[in-house]
Amino acid sequence: MALYTLADVHLSFGTDKPMDVFGGRWVHYEQKLKEYWEYLVRPEDTVVIPGDISWGMNLEEAAPDLAFLHALPGRKILMKGNHDLWWSSLAKLEHLKEEKQLESLTFLQNSALYAEGKVICGSRGWMCEDSMTAADEKVLRREGLRFEMSLNAAEKLADKTEAETGVRPEIICFSHYPVVTPAQRENPILSVLVEHKIKRVYFGHLHNWDGKPLIEEWAGIHFTLVSADAVLFIPVRID
């Protein structure tokens, strides 16, 4: 059993939002995604998708995109991104999952999950820039609290697993937004990650990033960009 991740799949089977306007890499991207996914991922594997899953504005529009993901091999752990406006309450998401028989999908929000020998946690995050509005600062602090909730749940799950097996699983964190940016300013999310001694974070949100500087390590944490176009729509394996 293996663990993979892939962010920003930006599906739009239920709405008219063609992605090829963002460059040739996005031409027929659904087909590329399907082919690479089916080649790599087995039914017993898990894939974490940290945000920007569907362009749907509501659950009805997002349903075809979720059905597309469900039909692919493996268990899928879904997280919210800034464009996931369809993401509703967990109760409504679970109702849709049951109604549409999307049993391979799991929604991660303010919690943690055990998958393939690892504990999975995280939240959407928020951009941390040199110049931020009061509203941005408020959202960033709120996301810091959500990371704290998820990491606390992850620690409890890791404790439980260690007590049962004698082996403590690594806690791996996922964020839709990058946690560390060139602004290098005080960041409540980074503070939480450091406090919990997280070593690996996978994130998305950034597009057309080829050749641009990217902070890959900060405060002992390794950060990996897994936006679909950045990794050529190939799920990234996490060992």
- Residue 87 and residue 62: Cα distance in Å, rounded? 9
Domain count, the chain: 1
pLDDT of amino acid 127: 86
Q: What is the pLDDT of residues 8-62, one digit of tens each?
A: 999 999 998 888 777 788 999 999 999 999 999 999 999 999 999 999 999 999 9
Mean pLDDT score, 81-92? 96
CA–CA dist 4, 78 (Å, integer): 12
| Burial degree of 120 (CB within 10 A; 0-12, 13-18, 19+) | buried
Farthest-apart Cα atoms in the chain, separation? 51
Query: Residue 131: its pLDDT value, please?
Result: 80
The tokens for 133 are 């509005």
What pLDDT is recorded for position 212? 66
End-to-end CA distance of the chain: 11
Q: Once rounded to an integer, what is the mean pLDDT over residues 157-179?
A: 97
- Nearest-5° angle of CA 7, CA 215, CA 137? 75
Q: Model-level pTM? A: 0.95
Question: Which residue range is the domain that position 101 belongs to?
Answer: 3-238
**Which CATH number does the domain housing residue 143 bear?**
3.60.21.10
- Phi, then psi, of 34 in degrees rounded to 5: -60, -45
pLDDT digits (tens, 9 = 90+) for 98-147: 999 999 999 999 999 999 999 999 999 998 887 889 999 999 999 999 99
> Can you give the pLDDT at residue 18?
81
